[in-house]
């Protein structure tokens, strides 16, 4: 049986006056791409932020490979890599220095840092620009640095939050290919998006969130049901829930 | 390697690649010599300036030569009172009974000419009286029944140098401790949020207090370096630049005790200001907002130094040494002027600055670990 990598159980979270999450539950497994779908403001990013310990849950619980986000946040952070749409990297460091910095901070052992960094540079085909300052890189190259930074410590759980929203077609395709490749390596890939076409092509299972609640969950085929595609199904579910 | 050391090293690399910070340090090193050079030029020019005196009437015998020797150029005019408004610096009407002087106090040149004029007249009067007494067989020394011989216990010019240094050095130290690292502090706090790197940083398992200390240490190093660079360049400039018409350098001497106190205070100030500016930067959404938050600090740092300038004999009770920044100014002033260090005020000052830095660090850490930090970004 495939191991549950991330378990979210009746998760609630309020940000300021807004109750963003209202009892979300789902499991994401190792070796699958799990889609977290929903319109803007549904609570996808907040859910991911709770999973990676940036935010604490108000109620409910989140476990990553058996580590509770509240009681063992450091252990969770060591096992998670996050890629977001906002490609924040240090402009005055080179691509390699950016990756090395995060390798060291995520606890890659001193003797292994160079090997690990070289491995991700090679894996993401970054050798041609690895020693250039980040400020001189293109958006696609920067996104590669952001991915490299997120995976340099070889985390078993990878989370992608709208990773292609600021990228061109070619760069977006590389991201999608990377997600598939990571799944093949046995990683648990959580893919948060509102681009349902991407989700339908990539995800093994999906959960649709609307207004902080889960409105559908299952394999992509199950959620699509009798509709022509996931988008039709999504629109019908959201309309019914509103 | 600990997270603290990793962050410290990375921040230093970024700082040294940041043009803004390098410009700030270069400015710190060059600004003071430039200012001192301008002051020296102005003082030399002022001392050598010749002022015009418009006069009418008969100049008393011998007075004309005195005027010329003191840089007052006599020009005959029809109406000295109206000429003194624009054409000349001073107007004088010589009469049988004496002289009427006209000058406009709103003009600096008129003020300076007036001072010279009064000085000449008092000397002239004294010489005339002495000559008159001598003619009548009276010893002119009766005018000075208690002659005083002055014996300064230390060099007056050295005292003047120390007085100058006691104001200028604390001012430079405090200003440069703040401004030298300000850009780096805002870049590492507000800039982290603006560049969207904050979330990735907080996602790492590195303890946040270590991340914060690493940042504060890196900024402190820059602040400290900027302050010392500014002071070193100031001392070199003072030993080279000649002031006034006499053309002598200002004799400044920094005793070993004063130098040690200065370095110690520079370390404390750099650490405190770094904590404070990083706290303000963490509150800000971006670099510019951080700059706006930090602007009032400039005024806070100027006031204590101004106290020493305007109240040179300000000798407060020990309680005053609890006030951050003012205490550093006072301790440094005392060390420069006296050449020795009173340990009690220094201890109180050190505790005060350490506590201030600690409170700022605690605030920064609280902000750094708040969820609101991410939600706001």
> pLDDT by residue (tens digit) across A150-192?
889 889 999 999 887 767 787 788 888 889 989 999 999 999 9
Close Cβ partners of B111 (under 8 Å, ≥ 6 residues apart): B103, B105
- Report whether pLDDT(A47) > 60: yes
Considering only CA atoms, which of B368, B259, B176 is closest in space to residue A54?
B368
Decide if pLDDT at B17 tops 80: yes
Smallest CA–CA separation between B14 and chain A, in Å? 6
CB atoms within 10 A of CB A61: 16
| Confidence at residue A240, expressed as pLDDT on a 0 to 100 scale | 76
Instruction: Please give the Cα distance from A137 to A121 (Å, whole number).
Output: 15
- Paired tokens of A150: 């997120």
Q: In what order do the strands lie in the sheet with A32-37?
A: A80-84, A157-161, A188-193, A32-37, A205-210, A213-219
Give the structural domain span for B342: 3-43+156-376
Whether pLDDT at B266 is above 80: yes
Establish if B196 touches chain A: CB-CB under 8 angstroms.
Answer: yes
Q: Tell me if B199 and A54 make a contact (CB, 8 A cut-off).
A: yes
- What tokens appear for B246 in the block? 């006499």
Min mean pLDDT across B5-19, B299-313, B317-331, B358-372 is at: B299-313
- A90 contacts B195? CB cut-off 8 A: yes
Distance CA A74, CA B207 (A): 8
Contact: A55, B202; criterion CB under 8 Å:
no
User: Taking 70 as the threshold, does the pLDDT of residue A236 lie above it?
Assistant: yes
Section B3-8 average pLDDT: 94
Look at A104 and B371 and tell me if their CB atoms are within 8 Å. no
Whether residue B313 is predicted with pLDDT greater than 80 in this model: the reply is no
When pLDDT is cut at 50, 70 and 90, the band that residue A1 belongs to is very low
> Are residues B215 and B346 both part of a single domain?
yes
pLDDT higher than threshold 50 for residue B214: yes
Tokens of B265: 């205070």
pLDDT at site A121: 93
- In a domain? residue B84: yes
Task: Please judge whether B200 and A106 are an interchain contact, meaning their C-beta atoms are less than 8 angstroms apart.
Answer: no
Q: Tokens 């940041």: give the residue.
A: B18
Residue A30 confidence (pLDDT): 92
Domain ranges (residues) in chain A: 1-79+156-242, 83-154
Check B13 against A78: CB less than 8 A apart.
no
How far apart (Å, rounded) are the C-alpha atoms in residues A170 and A85?
Answer: 16
Task: Answer whether B230's CB lies under 8 Å from B26's CB.
Answer: no
The answer to whether A111 faces chain B, any CB pair under 8 Å, is: no
More confident residue, A103 or B147: A103
Q: What is the pLDDT of residue B100?
A: 92
Q: Are residues B311 and B186 both part of a single domain?
A: yes
Say how far apart CA A148 and CA B109 lie, in whole Å: 70
A70 touches chain B (CB under 8 A): no
Q: Both B212 and B338 in a single domain? A: yes
Position B244 confidence tier, pLDDT thresholds 50, 70, 90: low
Q: Which residue of A has its CA nearest to B4?
A: A105
Q: Are residues B198 and B306 in the same domain?
A: yes
Query: Which SS3 state, helix, strand or coil, does residue A37 take?
Result: strand
d(CA A36, CA A150): 19
For chain B, say whether A119 makes contact (Cβ under 8 Å).
no
Percentage helix, strand, coil, to 5, in chain B?
70, 5, 20
Asked if the C-beta of B1 comes within 8 angstroms of chain A's C-beta atoms, the answer is yes
Task: For residue B179, tell me if it sits in a domain.
Answer: yes
Phi, psi of B49 (to 5 degrees): -65, 145
pLDDT at B167 exceeding the cut of 80: no
What confidence tens digit (pLDDT) does each residue in A191-216 have? 998 888 888 889 999 999 998 999 88
- Asked if residue B80 is part of any domain, the answer here is yes
B195–A contact, CB cutoff 8 A: yes
Question: Is B65 inside a domain boundary?
Answer: yes
Compute the count of residue pairs across chains A and B with CB atoms less than 8 Å apart: 73
pLDDT in tens, A111-138: 889 999 999 998 888 999 999 999 999 8
Chain B residues inside the 8 Å CB shell of A80: 203
Cα–Cα dist B249/B239, whole Å = 6
Q: Are residues B11 and B95 in the same domain?
A: no
Question: How far apart are alpha carbons B110 and B15 in whole angstroms?
Answer: 51
User: Do B57 and B38 share a domain, yes or no?
Assistant: no
CATH number of A1-79+156-242: 3.40.50.300
Task: Tell me the mean pLDDT in the region B92-105.
Answer: 90
Band of pLDDT at residue B4, cut at 50, 70 and 90: very high
Rounded to a whole number of angstroms, the distance from the CA of B10 to the nearest CA of chain A is 7
Q: Is the pLDDT of residue B246 over 60?
A: no
Question: Which residue among B79, B111, B141 closes a domain?
Answer: B141
pLDDT score, position B251:
66
DSSP string, B344-361: HHHHHHHHHHHHHHHHHH
A59-93 per-position pLDDT tens digit:
999 999 999 999 999 999 999 999 887 778 999 99
Question: What does the DSSP assignment read for B270-308?
Answer: HHHHHHHHHHHHHHSSSHHHHHHHHHHHHHHHHHHHHHH
In a domain, residue B350? The reply is yes
Q: What is the CATH number of the domain that holds B96?
A: 3.40.190
Separation of alpha carbons B176 and B222, rounded Å: 10
- Could you tell me which of B257, B277, B255 has the C-alpha nearest to residue B356? B277
Task: Report, at the CATH architecture level, how domain A83-154 is classified.
Answer: Orthogonal Bundle (1.10)
Q: What is the mean pLDDT of chain B?
A: 85
The verdict on residue B147 lying in a domain is no
Total tally of structural domains belonging to chain B: 2
Q: B35 and B56 share a domain?
A: no
Global ipTM = 0.87
* In a domain? residue B149: no
Give percent of chain B above pLDDT 70.
Answer: 94
Q: What is the pLDDT of residues B127-144, one digit of tens each?
A: 888 888 888 888 888 888
Taking residue B92's Cβ as centre, other Cβ atoms within 10 Å add up to 25
For residue A236, which phi and psi values (nearest 5 degrees)?
-65, -40
């Amino acid at each position: 049986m495939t191991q549950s990598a991330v378990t979210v159980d009746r998760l609630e979270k309020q940000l300021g006056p807004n109750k963003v999450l209202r009892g979300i539950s789902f499991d994401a497994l190792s070796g699958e791409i799990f889609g977290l779908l929903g319109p803007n403001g549904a609570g996808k990013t907040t859910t991911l932020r709770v999973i990676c310990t940036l935010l604490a849950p108000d109620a409910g619980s989140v476990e990553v490979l058996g580590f509770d986000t509240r009681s063992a946040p450091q252990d969770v952070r060591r096992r998670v890599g996050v890629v977001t749409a906002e490609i924040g990297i240090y402009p005055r460091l080179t691509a390699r220095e950016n990756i090395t910095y995060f390798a060291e901070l995520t606890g890659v052992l001193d003797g292994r840092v160079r090997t690990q960094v070289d491995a991700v540079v090679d894996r993401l085909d970054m050798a041609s620009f690895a020693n250039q300052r980040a400020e001189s890189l293109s958006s696609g190259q920067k996104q590669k640095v952001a991915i490299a930074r997120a995976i340099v410590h070889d985390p078993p759980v990878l989370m992608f939050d709208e990773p292609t929203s600021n990228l061109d077609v070619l760069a977006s395709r590389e991201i999608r290919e990377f997600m598939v490749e990571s799944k093949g390596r046995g990683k648990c890939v959580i893919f948060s998006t509102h681009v349902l076409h991407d989700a339908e092509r990539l995800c093994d299972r999906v959960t649709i969130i609307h207004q902080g609640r889960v409105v559908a969950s299952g394999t992509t085929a199950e959620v699509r049901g009798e509709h022509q595609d996931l988008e039709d199904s999504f629109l019908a579910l959201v309309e019914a829930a509103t | 390697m600990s997270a603290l050391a990793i962050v410290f090293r990375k921040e230093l690399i970024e700082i040294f690649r940041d043009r803004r910070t390098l410009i700030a340090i270069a400015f710190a090193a060059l600004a003071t010599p430039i200012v001192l050079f301008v002051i020296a030029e102005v003082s030399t020019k002022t001392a050598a300036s010749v002022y015009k005196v418009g006069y009418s009437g008969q100049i008393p015998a011998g007075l004309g030569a005195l005027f010329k020797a003191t840089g007052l150029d006599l020009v005959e005019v029809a109406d000295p009172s109206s000429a003194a408004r624009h054409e000349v610096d001073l107007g004088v009407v010589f009469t049988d009974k004496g002289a009427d002087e006209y000058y406009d106090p709103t003009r600096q040149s008129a003020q300076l000419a007036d001072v010279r004029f009064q000085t000449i007249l008092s000397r002239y009067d004294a010489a005339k009286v002495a000559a008159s007494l001598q003619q009548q067989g009276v010893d002119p020394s009766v005018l000075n029944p208690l002659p005083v011989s002055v014996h300064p216990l230390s060099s007056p010019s050295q005292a003047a140098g120390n007085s100058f240094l006691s104001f200028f050095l604390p001012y430079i130290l405090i200003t440069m401790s703040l401004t030298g690292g300000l850009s780096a502090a805002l870049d590492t706090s507000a800039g982290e949020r603006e560049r969207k790197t904050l979330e990735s940083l907080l996602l790492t398992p590195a303890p946040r207090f270590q991340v914060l200390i690493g940042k504060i240490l890196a900024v402190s190093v820059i602040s400290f370096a900027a302050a010392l660079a500014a002071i070193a360049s100031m001392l070199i400039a003072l030993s080279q630049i000649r002031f006034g018409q006499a053309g002598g350098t200002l004799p400044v001497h920094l005793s070993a005790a004063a130098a040690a106190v200065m370095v110690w205070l520079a370390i404390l100030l750099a650490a405190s200001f770094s904590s404070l500016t990083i706290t303000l930067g963490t509150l800000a959404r971006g670099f510019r907002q951080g700059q706006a938050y930090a602007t009032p600090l400039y005024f806070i740092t100027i006031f204590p130094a101004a106290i020493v300038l305007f109240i040179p004999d300000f000798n407060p009770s020990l309680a005053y040494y609890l006030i951050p920044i003012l205490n550093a100014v006072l301790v440094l002033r005392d060390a420069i002027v006296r050449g020795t260090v009173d340990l009690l005020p220094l201890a109180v000052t050190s505790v005060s600055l350490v506590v201030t830095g600690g409170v700022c660090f605690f605030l920064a850490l609280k902000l750094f670990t708040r969820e609101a930090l991410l939600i706001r970004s």
